[in-house]
Structure 1
Amino acid sequence: MFDRKKRFEQRIALNFLPLVQQDFSFFVYRKQIGVGSENPNRERHNGVRRYRLPQNLALQTSDYVDCDVSFSKIEGFEKVKIYAHTNIHLTKFLLMEALQKKCREHLSKQDYLVGTKFRNTISFVLAKTDVGDETVWLEPYFLKETGKFGFLVGFHFKVKEGIPLNRKILQYSLSIGSDGRENKNYYVDIFKKIKKFISKYHSQLFPFEIGDGVAITISWPMQDVRSEQLDTKLYIFSNEKKDVSQFQGIRKHGPLVPVRDDSLICFMYRPEDKPLSYELYHALKGDKYATFPGMDAMFSFSFGNEHVTGLPLNGYDSQCIDAAIKQLLLVSGDRPVLPLILFPWSRMERTTEGEDCYYRIKHQFLANRLPTQFVSLQRIRGRDGLKWSVANIALAVFGKLGGKPWKLSPKHERCLIIGIGQAHRKDGDKISRYFAYSVLSDSSGLYDSIRILSKSENKEHYLDGLTVKIKEVIAEFSDRFDKFVVHTPFKLKKDEITAITSALDAVQSNKTVVVLKFNEKSKFFGFALGNNSKVPYESSCVALGGKEYLVWFEGLQYHNPTVKRRIARPMHIAFVYSSKELEHADEISYLQDAINLSGANWRGFNAKTLPISVYYAKLIAEYIGHFDRLGLPEIDIEDLPPWFL
């Protein structure tokens, strides 16, 4: 049994290589700038950049002023001595410039690549392949939690231009193993790539000089930091029964809220696929696989003629689907109904034709207020058939019919989670239509609804609408909830965050409002060096400082620390707004609810990489984007069961 006390002693090494030297100084040339000058804190010309520096460098309490800064002598600029912590951004830029200089002096141009203006990195080539280059990148960074400068380090496979995604690329990217399956050694393999970089390049790059005789080098091996352990997820089922397992819990106790007794599932298939529809039917009934006991045993939904019917399709073109929808509505009447469509294209083997057809049919049914469940013929025909997928198909069917399989034990009661999503339309690099919506759930993970927040071709109108609608949503739910927590994706722009927070500023003072920003593809990573797999335990949390955290929504299980599949990257979470001052314990409690929400995903029994507030919004954006791409008319996506599961 895993010792809970040891959980709190777990040490995690961040992908951060601190400098051995932290208290150093360097010289720059600066010119103080008057108030109102243009182009603050951006590169200007001839290597001159703008930073805020103390007006009087001799006084620790001096006010900061805007200065043009250069590392080279320029007429009219004064030479001044700067300390590492005087301006963190300037020091990071210095480290980058010095590292680039060392690369130019000691490496060939084929060995490294300088990043773009969006990522201040240098990538070093470990190996070249026929489809791309294995690289490890460095990026200057200041870790606020420890107050140390250093370099973030990470692995990236840079694909050659013009080469489509294929199995080789996935293997070189470490996504899949040499056997073609999920790479269970993902963390170990990334760690090995970083070690290979150290072995190949460290002596050529470090130490490097930053002037005034100061030599900079990095610490290796990585230094671990203290982590905290959030609580494991606790699921709640029928009659408030609890379990740590979604599957076993619902099997033992039954669903939290069953579907309506008169609900109907309609199998829809081409005549030649009817035998496969029987395969699917018996799998869902629980007659075929030991992995799934059946809809009745799991979801208290009998699978007899009273709940199941069938309808043949003459084809998948628009006319055939329209005719099928009319017939389905006639058969179902006022009953809740879910079309279960056998589909000849697989999302795992995507073709343009199949993908377009899928989204067009999905749209046709949604336009008639009908969620759908697709099952590919390839999946049914596969070697293991539906053995490993039937339980997830059944779960999605149950949710789309309006059932609620489980909720979670929340940290905050009477708390509404507002997940923000976007589906902007782009013409090239320019946005031609702005569109934002929200996925609403409570902190126990119970899905409520989708609300359109704002859509406009004019950015200002869109931002104004965003502010107004956020106010309306909070006003509508203020009788039921005392806390409102907004979850936003990383790609949300600064002006959109401002529009949201300006709405939150108007919320009455007896309510608590918090905004968290999630990034599942951040530059941060971490390793549990004490584990052979290098994977931290699930629910591990590392503070980065500045109200930023790194959280493992997936990881080793305490009762069985064996890696059985690829473990996802940790989630970067930042607190960007709060109506009240938050202590560290408060922040941890909101992170706990985010972890819990990852277990509220009704799309699959093991789908828990993202909180549903972020994940559902992401799914909806994908659907709306494809509907828009195909030129399909806008439809009302509000007030439906979770059709996107």
Structure 2
Amino acid sequence: MLDPDQIAISFLAAKVQDFVFTIYRKKIEAGQQSVPNTRFLPADCIAASSSDDTNTRYAVSLISQEGYEEVQIRAWVNPELTQDVLHQALLSRATATDLSDNTELPDKTFYRKIGFVLHRHREYGDVREVMWLRPFDLRVHGKFGFLCSFALRVPNASDLPAKRRLELSLTHKNGRINEDFFLDQHQKIADFLRTYFDAIQRLKLHDGSEIELESKLSVIPSFTLSTRTYVFGGNRQGKNQFFGLRDYAPFQTADPFLFLVYQLRRLSLEAKLILVIGYGFGDEHINGILQQALRGEQEMRLVAVTWFGDNLKVAEREKKEAQFKSFVAKQLGLEGDREQRLVLQVHSAKSFLGEALSLASMTNHFPVEESIFAEIESTPTTT
């Protein structure tokens, strides 16, 4: 039984955290274009840490290639690379003969996650209850492992009734919002561990080495939040925002921009894609808000729209694009492997908003929402 000051999170940690594995790399010289799987790595990947500021660009492969050197690397030297290695190891195990009939991949390869089928509801057209596992580095506790997330996958052609869909997704129970959602999801994770843990407990990495997963969810300290209160006009407080506004009027701040900054922080933390037009990334406070949002959501992209004028030659424009992208990446802490989360669009604001901006143009940058209702998913019908 858990200590009342602890809470179990949906995270299966590896038993050994700073493990070592083999990679193959080839240095990318200054002036050369980056290639897929470019990583910033130190010369010595055993002695260095992830904070090493002498990193160099390398093309990285998990298999031997001509012209690539073989090196050993510690897991925390490049956490993003380690997540890729863990994903490949789980993918290799999930697609093995004994598991492949009951595992599945996301519709978009952008997601590094693998699904394990807990239950099939064939009466509704192969609706599946799925436990998704995706690699994750829980940096605050120095742990690598896999996050577990329950979802209901519903084919487009399914005749699953709406009420039943909500119940199977765990969001509702007996026609009401499910206040036991996290307890029910914990039970689904327990079902997953009983069914699949023995098969995935030991994962073989690409180089033949192995990692072993903990059999129980990780536990972290917990604390009780203070009662929520709202501040209204005259610094008077209340527990209900509607009655508080009625009785006390809105809170008036001396800084008219404070509310806008608050809204930017709140909305950026909820966003899946941030679109920035005409901002030079010179304000440390705004940059801090954007950096916090990008740090909290691993799959978020930021699209920066800027303009260099009409009369630039191609080579000069490309140079300015590279310089601006490098500058923005540094300002937002997106250097190295994380720079791929920054997308640069060169347009004037007028041409971008009037011509270039469309749902289709943003599709490749916008992660697919899992559902409007918590963890319900729709999947294409297969024939």
TM-score range, shorter chain: 0.5 to 0.7
**Mapping for residues 126-525 of structure 1, pairs under 5 Å:** 126-129=118-121, 130-131=124-125, 132-163=127-158, 166-177=162-173, 179-210=174-205, 214-236=209-231, 241-245=236-240, 255-257=247-249, 407=251, 416-418=258-260, 487-488=267-268, 489-493=270-274, 496-497=275-276, 499-500=278-279, 502=281, 504=283, 515=289
Opposite residue 53 of structure 1, the aligned amino acid is: L
Q: Hey, what's the Cα distance between the residues in 2 that align with 1:240 and 1:54?
A: 53
Opposite residue 260 of structure 2, the aligned amino acid is: I
Q: Hey, what's the Cα distance between the residues in 2 that align with 1:134 and 1:21?
A: 31
CA contact (8 A) 1:485 1:513 kept: no
Q: Does 1:95 align with 2:86?
A: yes
Superimposed CA distance per residue, residues 300-350 of structure 1 (whole angstroms, 9 cap, x where no aligned partner): xxxxxxxxxxxxxxxxxxxxxxxxxxxxxxxxxxxxxxxxxxxxxxxxxxx
CA contact (8 A) 1:485 1:514 kept: no
Opposite residue 89 of structure 1, the aligned amino acid is: E
State the secondary structure of the residue aligned to 2:77.
coil
Opposite residue 232 of structure 1, the aligned amino acid is: T
Q: Hey, what's the Cα distance between the residues in 2 that align with 1:169 and 1:243?
A: 38
RMSD: 3.8
Deviation at 1:58, TM superposition (A): 6.6
CA contact (8 A) 1:102 1:208 kept: yes
Q: Hey, what's the Cα distance between the residues in 2 that align with 1:36 and 1:415?
A: 43
User: Counterpart of 2:113?
Assistant: 121
Superimposed CA distance per residue, residues 537-575 of structure 1 (whole angstroms, 9 cap, x where no aligned partner): xxxxxxxxxxxxxxxxxxxxxxxxxxxxxxxxxxxxxxx
Deviation at 1:67, TM superposition (A): 1.7
State the secondary structure of the residue aligned to 1:145.
helix
Deviation at 1:230, TM superposition (A): 4.8
Select 1:112's aligned residue among 82, 92, 103. Answer: 103
Superimposed CA distance per residue, residues 58-105 of structure 1 (whole angstroms, 9 cap, x where no aligned partner): 763683222222222222222221211221111111111111111222
User: Counterpart of 2:54?
Assistant: 63
Deviation at 1:234, TM superposition (A): 2.2
Greater relative CO (CA pairs within 8 A, separation 6+): 2
Deviation at 1:503, TM superposition (A): 6.2
Q: Hey, what's the Cα distance between the residues in 2 that align with 1:414 and 1:227?
A: 36
195 and 141 in structure 1: CA distance in 2 versus 1, 3 angstrom threshold: same
Q: Does 1:82 align with 2:73?
A: yes
Superimposed CA distance per residue, residues 112-166 of structure 1 (whole angstroms, 9 cap, x where no aligned partner): 1123332100011001112511000111111111121111111011111233772
Percent identity, please. Answer: 25
Q: Hey, what's the Cα distance between the residues in 1 that align with 2:22 and 2:146?
A: 21
522 and 486 in structure 1: CA distance in 2 versus 1, 3 angstrom threshold: closer
Superimposed CA distance per residue, residues 438-478 of structure 1 (whole angstroms, 9 cap, x where no aligned partner): xx87xxxxxxxxxxxxxxxxxxxxxxxxxxxxxxxxxxxxx
113 and 230 in structure 1: CA distance in 2 versus 1, 3 angstrom threshold: same
Opposite residue 54 of structure 1, the aligned amino acid is: P
Select 1:51's aligned residue among 21, 24, 39. Answer: 39
State the secondary structure of the residue aligned to 1:105.
coil
413 and 69 in structure 1: CA distance in 2 versus 1, 3 angstrom threshold: same
85 and 498 in structure 1: CA distance in 2 versus 1, 3 angstrom threshold: farther
Q: Hey, what's the Cα distance between the residues in 1 that align with 2:42 and 2:115?
A: 34
User: Counterpart of 2:319?
Assistant: none
Q: Hey, what's the Cα distance between the residues in 1 that align with 2:257 and 2:228?
A: 17
**Mapping for residues 5-16 of structure 1, pairs under 5 Å:** 10-16=5-11
513 and 50 in structure 1: CA distance in 2 versus 1, 3 angstrom threshold: closer
Q: Hey, what's the Cα distance between the residues in 2 that align with 1:160 and 1:96?
A: 25
Q: Hey, what's the Cα distance between the residues in 1 that align with 2:73 and 2:145?
A: 18
State the secondary structure of the residue aligned to 1:418.
helix
Opposite residue 168 of structure 2, the aligned amino acid is: Y
Gaps in structure 2 of 5+ consecutive residues? 300-327, 332-357, 359-383
Q: Hey, what's the Cα distance between the residues in 1 that align with 2:297 and 2:183?
A: 19
Q: Hey, what's the Cα distance between the residues in 2 that align with 1:27 and 1:246?
A: 56
CA contact (8 A) 1:106 1:204 kept: no
State the secondary structure of the residue aligned to 2:258.
strand
Q: Hey, what's the Cα distance between the residues in 2 that align with 1:236 and 1:140?
A: 41
Opposite residue 163 of structure 2, the aligned amino acid is: R
Deviation at 1:215, TM superposition (A): 2.3
Return the index of the structure with the highest Cα Rg: 1
Q: Hey, what's the Cα distance between the residues in 1 that align with 2:20 and 2:236?
A: 61
State the secondary structure of the residue aligned to 2:147.
strand
User: Counterpart of 2:24?
Assistant: 29
Q: Hey, what's the Cα distance between the residues in 1 that align with 2:53 and 2:235?
A: 60
Q: Does 1:73 align with 2:61?
A: no
Q: Hey, what's the Cα distance between the residues in 2 that align with 1:198 and 1:167?
A: 28
Q: Hey, what's the Cα distance between the residues in 2 that align with 1:31 and 1:120?
A: 24
Deviation at 1:228, TM superposition (A): 4.9
Opposite residue 113 of structure 1, the aligned amino acid is: E
Deviation at 1:55, TM superposition (A): 2.6
Deviation at 1:500, TM superposition (A): 4.4
State the secondary structure of the residue aligned to 2:247.
coil
CA contact (8 A) 1:140 1:151 kept: yes
194 and 239 in structure 1: CA distance in 2 versus 1, 3 angstrom threshold: same
Gaps in structure 1 of 5+ consecutive residues? 1-8, 43-48, 258-403, 420-439, 442-483, 506-510, 525-575, 580-624, 626-645
